[in-house]
Amino acid sequence: MKVFDTDKIKNVAILGHAGSGKTTLAEAMLFEAGEITRRGSVEEQNTVSDYHEIEKQRGTSVFDSMLHLQWKDNKINLIDTPGFDDLVGEIISALRVADTGVMVLNAQSGVEVGTELIWEYTEQFQTPMLFAVNELDGEKADFEQTVAQAKERFGDKVIVVQYPLNEGKNFSTIIDVLKMTCYQFNDTGGKPQKLPIPDSEREKANRLHNELVEAVAVHDDGLMEAFFEKGELSEEELAKGMKLAMHHHDIFPVFCCSAKKNIGSGRILGFIHDIAPSAQDVPPTKRESGKTLDCDPSGPVCLFVFKTISEPHLGDMSLFKVYSGEVKVGQELINSKTESSERIAQLYLLNGKNRTAVNSLKAGDIGATVKLKSTTTNSTLYEKGQPFHIFPVQFPAPRMTVAISTDNKNDMEKMAQALHHIHDSDNTVIYEYSHELQQTLLHGQGELHLNIVKWELENLYKVKVNYDKPRVSYRETIRKAVQSQYRHKKQSGGAGQFGEVHLLVEPYYEGMPNPSGLNVRDRQEVDLEWGGKLVFMNCIVGGSIDTKFMSAIMKGIMEKMVTGPLTGSYVRDVRVSVYDGKMHAVDSNDMAFKIAGMMAFRQAFQDANPQLLEPIYDVEVLCSGDTTGDVMGDLQTRRAIIMGMETEGHYQKITARVPLSELYKYASTLRSISQGRAKHRQRFAEYSTVPAEIQQKLIESYAKESHHHEH
Could you read off the pLDDT of 504-536 as tens digits, one per residue? 999 999 999 999 889 999 999 999 999 999 999
pTM of the model: 0.85
Say how far apart CA 496 and CA 482 lie, in whole Å.
30
Please check whether residue 710 lies inside any domain of the structure. Answer: no
Residue (of 406, 603, 384) closest to 486 by Cα position:
603
CATH of the domain at 674: 3.30.70.240
Angle at 133 between CA 127 and CA 136, to 5 degrees: 170
Please check whether residue 623 lies inside any domain of the structure. Answer: yes
pLDDT at 493: 67
Domain boundary among 436, 468, 500: 468
181-184 vs 173-176, strand pairing mode:
antiparallel
Neighbours of 490 (CB within 10 A): 13
Please check whether residue 709 lies inside any domain of the structure. Answer: no
Say how far apart CA 55 and CA 591 lie, in whole Å.
62
The answer on 507 and 444 residing in a single domain is no
The answer on 492 and 460 residing in a single domain is no
CATH of the domain at 430: 3.30.70.870
Say how far apart CA 160 and CA 214 lie, in whole Å.
12
What's CA 23's distance to the chain center, in Å?
22
Q: Using an 8 Å Cβ cutoff, are 378 and 420 in contact?
A: no
CA-to-CA separations, 642 to 327, 445, 664, in angstroms, rounded: 55, 24, 18
Sites in the chain below the pLDDT cut of 50: none
pLDDT at 472: 93
pLDDT at 711: 58
The answer on 404 and 367 residing in a single domain is no
Range(s) of the domain holding residue 55: 6-274
Say how far apart CA 139 and CA 133 lie, in whole Å.
14
CATH of the domain at 317: 2.40.30.10
Q: Using an 8 Å Cβ cutoff, are 183 and 258 in contact?
A: no
The answer on 136 and 238 residing in a single domain is yes
Residue (of 14, 161, 159, 158) closest to 76 by Cα position:
14
| 590-607 and 550-562 helices, crossing angle to 10° | 50
Please check whether residue 511 lies inside any domain of the structure. Answer: yes
Say how far apart CA 602 and CA 564 lie, in whole Å.
9
- Report CA dihedral (394, 396, 402, 404) to the nearest 10 degrees: -20
Domain boundary among 246, 274, 302: 274
Please check whether residue 701 lies inside any domain of the structure. Answer: no
CATH of the domain at 552: 3.30.230.10
Please check whether residue 61 lies inside any domain of the structure. Answer: yes
pLDDT at 129: 95
What's CA 243's distance to the chain center, in Å?
31
Please check whether residue 323 lies inside any domain of the structure. Answer: yes
pLDDT per residue as tens digits for the range 222-232 = 888 887 788 77
The answer on 75 and 19 residing in a single domain is yes
Domain boundary among 349, 382, 415: 382
Residue (of 362, 388, 360, 366) closest to 298 by Cα position:
362
Residue (of 232, 234, 269, 27) closest to 130 by Cα position:
269
Residue (of 396, 458, 391, 406) closest to 429 by Cα position:
396
Cα first-last separation, the chain: 71
pLDDT at 223: 81
The answer on 155 and 206 residing in a single domain is yes
Residue (of 100, 148, 80, 91) closest to 249 by Cα position:
100
Number of domains in the chain: 5
The answer on 652 and 546 residing in a single domain is no
CA-to-CA separations, 106 to 136, 150, 177, 319, 547, in angstroms, rounded: 8, 11, 21, 30, 78
Strand partners, 431: 442
The answer on 599 and 519 residing in a single domain is yes
The answer on 212 and 110 residing in a single domain is yes
The answer on 579 and 544 residing in a single domain is yes
Please check whether residue 711 lies inside any domain of the structure. Answer: no
**φ and ψ at residue 296, rounded to 5 degrees:** -125, 120
Contacts for 165-173 with beta carbons within 8 Å, 24 or more apart? 165/198, 165/201, 167/107, 167/136, 167/137, 167/141, 167/142, 167/143, 168/136, 168/137, 168/138, 168/139, 168/141, 169/137, 169/139, 170/137, 171/136, 171/137, 171/141, 171/258, 171/261, 171/263, 172/263
**φ and ψ at residue 642, rounded to 5 degrees:** -75, 125
The answer on 161 and 52 residing in a single domain is yes
- Report CA dihedral (303, 305, 306, 309) to the nearest 10 degrees: 140
pLDDT at 710: 60
The answer on 331 and 252 residing in a single domain is no
Residues 323, 328, 329, 333: is their CA dihedral positive or negative?
negative
